[in-house]
């Protein structure tokens, strides 16, 4: 009989030979497959086009998603009965903010259902399907102003025309008791007919909400957009319709210069926003040096002042000043609070 030592040696030889045989088998499969040893039997053939699946018996959703936004997944879809294209938004999943994103998308649906304006994306439908919320909005043939930005700035005449369209829409939105809070080039669509439409009400809020405790729990009291930060939203303070006007003024400055407005201010006086009328005048002078009219330069400089109290009171006032041949008188130099 074998002793313990001989038995251990025999077992070791068996495992060694087994390992060699497995290695030979894997090498043979690798050579046959022509690959790196991956299990090719599990690979599926590449798709030759977009796949679709039906939701709610009414819409054909095109996969993969068209875009993954910060709070929602954006899908291209087709209404089966009419063949009409549309956009379907579902809440972003897989984060600790899942319930918040769902709440925000449902609020967006509620706001858009209430708003009917030529310069605002149109609400079509909303529903639950397989325990997921879906918001259906119109498909816009065009691209965002961020994507549409050319190598050289847009003309002042064009930018002012777009601004007046958007100010008309914002006046309507604010009158409905809603503030958008995220007006910037990526949330404005330039359509194929050269009109513009405001999109993405995901961070909008009710202007008339007096529940301060509820507002304090809103995770979106602070909203940041690099290069387009709005003072009261960046700091996380109270906001009203004037934050939308600041966002639009910043958007116009960008379209006219292709430079981020916060960065322009940082280069001029080491602050992201003009905090005094003298600093606003410096912004206006910079814009004038870029070929922008004094009227537009002064309006836009006032529109991005740090303190909301020193901007335009409402969209109509901003629109009137921007489209007036005489502009408006610049207020005297006066240092504002540097909070």
Please tell me whether residues 222 and 315 are part of one structural domain.
yes
Domain endpoint, select from 138, 163, 184: 138
| Judgement on whether residues 93 and 242 belong to the same structural domain of the protein | no
98 located within any domain? yes
Q: For residue 289, what is the domain's CATH number?
A: 1.10.510.10
Do residues 296 and 208 share a domain? yes
Is 95 found in the same domain as 126? yes
Q: Check whether residue 168 and residue 96 sit in a common domain.
A: no
Residue 57 domain-assigned (yes or no): yes
242 falls within a domain: yes
Residues 6+ away with beta carbon under 8 Å from 198: 119, 120, 121, 166, 169, 170, 173, 180, 183, 187, 188, 189
Does residue 41 fall inside a structural domain?
Answer: no
| Whether residues 314 and 210 fall in one domain | yes
How high does pLDDT run on average in the chain?
Answer: 83
Domain limit, last residue, from 138, 153, 175: 138
Residue 23 lies in a domain: no
CATH of the domain at 79: 3.30.200.20
Count CB-CB contacts under 10 A for residue 40.
Answer: 12
Could you read off the pLDDT of 235-288 as tens digits, one per residue? 887 889 999 999 999 999 999 999 999 999 999 999 999 999 999 999 999 999
Q: Which residues contact 225 (CB under 8 A, 6 or more apart)?
A: 182, 184, 186
3-state secondary structure of 151: coil
Query: For the segment 85-106, what is each residue's pLDDT rounded down to a tens digit?
Result: 999 999 999 888 888 999 999 9
Pair 157, 271 in one domain: yes
Instruction: Classify residue 45 as exposed, middle or buried by CB count within 10 Å of its CB (0-12, 13-18, 19+).
Output: exposed
Looking at the fold, whether 171 and 259 belong to one and the same domain comes out as yes
Q: What is the CA radius of gyration of the chain?
A: 29
**67 and 112 share one domain:** yes
Q: What is the mean pLDDT of residues 113-125?
A: 98
Nearest partner of 148 among 214, 197, 205, 218, judged by Cα = 197
The pair of structure tokens assigned to 47 is: 């798709």
Residues 179 and 134 in one domain: no
Domain total of the chain: 2
Residue pointed to by tokens 């301060």: 212
Question: Which of 138, 160, 178 is a domain's end point?
Answer: 138
Q: Are residues 103 and 154 in the same domain?
A: no
What confidence category does residue 217 fall into, taking pLDDT thresholds of 50, 70 and 90?
Answer: low
pLDDT tens per residue across span 137-182: 999 999 999 999 888 899 999 999 999 999 999 999 999 999 999 9
Is-contact 313 242, C-beta < 8 A? Answer: yes
Q: Where would I find the beta strands (DSSP E) of the chain?
A: 51-55, 59-63, 67-68, 72-79, 85-91, 123-129, 132-138, 142-144, 178-179, 188-191, 196-198, 205-206
Give residue 299's domain range. Answer: 142-323
Nearest to 77, CA basis, from 28, 111, 127, 29 = 127
In a shared domain, residues 262 and 307 = yes
């Amino acid at each position: 009989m074998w002793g313990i030592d001989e038995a251990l040696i025999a077992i070791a030889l068996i495992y060694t030979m087994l390992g060699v045989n497995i290695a030979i088998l894997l090498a043979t499969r690798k050579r046959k497959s022509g690959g790196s040893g991956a299990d090719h039997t599990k690979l599926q053939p590449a798709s030759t086009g977009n796949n679709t699946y039906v939701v709610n018996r009414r819409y054909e959703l095109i996969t993969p998603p068209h875009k993954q936004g910060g709070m929602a997944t954006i899908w291209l879809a087709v209404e089966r009965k009419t063949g009409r294209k549309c956009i379907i938004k579902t809440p972003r999943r897989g984060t600790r903010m899942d319930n918040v994103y769902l709440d925000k998308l449902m609020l967006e649906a509620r706001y858009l259902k209430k708003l009917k304006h030529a310069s605002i994306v149109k609400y079509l439908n909303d529903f639950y399907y397989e325990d997921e919320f879906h918001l259906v909005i119109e498909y816009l043939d065009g691209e965002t102003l961020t994507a549409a930005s050319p190598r050289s700035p847009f003309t002042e005449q064009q930018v002012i025309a777009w601004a007046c369209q958007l100010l008309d829409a914002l006046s309507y939105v604010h009158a409905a008791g809603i503030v958008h809070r995220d007006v910037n080039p990526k949330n404005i669509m330039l359509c194929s007919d050269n009109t513009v439409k405001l999109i993405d009400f995901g961070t909008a809020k009710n202007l008339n909400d007096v529940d301060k405790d509820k507002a304090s729990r809103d995770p979106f009291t602070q909203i940041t957009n690099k290069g387009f930060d709005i003072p009261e939203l960046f700091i996380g303070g109270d906001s009203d319709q004037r934050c939308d006007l600041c966002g639009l003024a910043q958007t116009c400055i960008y379209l006219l210069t292709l430079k981020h407005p916060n960065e322009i201010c940082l280069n001029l006086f080491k602050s992201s926003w003009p905090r005094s009328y003298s600093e606003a005048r410096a912004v206006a002078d910079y814009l004038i040096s870029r070929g922008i009219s004094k009227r537009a330069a002064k309006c836009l400089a006032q529109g991005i002042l740090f303190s909301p109290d020193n901007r335009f009171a409402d969209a109509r006032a901003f629109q009137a000043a921007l489209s007036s041949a005489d502009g408006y008188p610049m207020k005297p130099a006066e240092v504002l609070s540097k909070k």
